[in-house]
Amino acid sequence: MAVPQRPPRSWDELARANPSGADFVITLDAYSESLEPPWPGQPDAALWAYPDVIVGAGPEQVAHAAVQMLFSLRRRLELLVSLPMQGADRSAVRSDVRDLGYMR
């Protein structure tokens, strides 16, 4: 399965694409979290921080760390989509999404 090639999108373009706002904004590193602009509707935010896999490692270590990170991210996303969103207490869902960031 080939991954479609798409150019990066700016925050402004994402905000225009979904004017009703997002339910959650999940950031994958702390540095980017500090740069996030305000989102329409002020969605809940979660930080699922991952280390920079390229810093201070050789090609073999980078490849291994990247694969580990992708497996971890996939598992978090699987758990995210399995959360009961409809009719659930908003604060409980917010806590669950944020707690997924502490999984290893």
What is the full per-residue pLDDT of the chain (104 aa) written as tens digits? Answer: 566 677 877 777 776 776 666 788 888 888 887 887 777 778 888 999 888 888 767 888 888 888 999 999 999 999 999 988 888 888 898 899 999 998 87
**Cβ neighbours, 10 Å, residue 14:** 14
Q: Report the amino acid identity of residue 86.
A: Q
Q: What are phi and psi of 14, to 5 degrees?
A: -65, -40
Q: 27 with 11: CB under 8 angstroms? A: no
DSSP code, position 32: H
pTM of the model: 0.73
Q: Report the amino acid identity of residue 8.
A: P
E strand or H helix at 68:
helix 59-82
pLDDT at 75: 94
